[in-house]
Amino acid sequence: MKKILITILLVIVVLATIWYAFIYFVPYSEGTRSGELIKVSNKGVIFKTWEGEISQGISGAQIFSFSVLDKEEEVIKKLQEYQGSYVKLEYVERFGTFAFWGDTKYFITGVVKEKSPHFSRD
């Protein structure tokens, strides 16, 4: 009985490790999105994660929500600096996420401030 229990627990740990590695190392898609950076925040009760949003439409009807991993310190600094500006975000979309990573499957890997096509203020 003890051997069966250990085997079952070992199988569960191995499957969880494989699932985590798959989510972390295998991207679903990669790309860029542009829009006005309207929100960047560090939120959460148990796990603090960096979350943000860009508006991709004039009316704000098209919102792209994203997360930023804690290890991307330079990206977080740039996002805080560029809040309210038009930006281009480089992202990786994952198959899933974990509570300690963020709320979305979109993880920002780079940010560049750009001239807005809608307004002349940038």
* DSSP symbols for 35-92: EEEEEEEEE-SSS-EEEEEEE-STTS-SEEEEEE-TT-HHHHHHHHHTTTSEEEEEEE
Residue 80 main-chain phi, psi, to 5 deg: -65, -40
pLDDT at position 122: 44
pLDDT at position 61: 72
pLDDT digits (tens, 9 = 90+) for 45-56: 888 999 999 998
pLDDT digits (tens, 9 = 90+) for 79-114: 999 998 999 999 999 988 888 888 899 999 999 999
- Record the pTM: 0.80
pLDDT digits (tens, 9 = 90+) for 57-84: 766 678 999 999 989 999 999 999 999 8
pLDDT digits (tens, 9 = 90+) for 13-38: 999 999 989 988 888 999 999 999 99
What residue spans define the domains of the chain?
Answer: 27-113
The superfamily (CATH) of domain 27-113 is Nucleic acid-binding proteins (2.40.50.140)
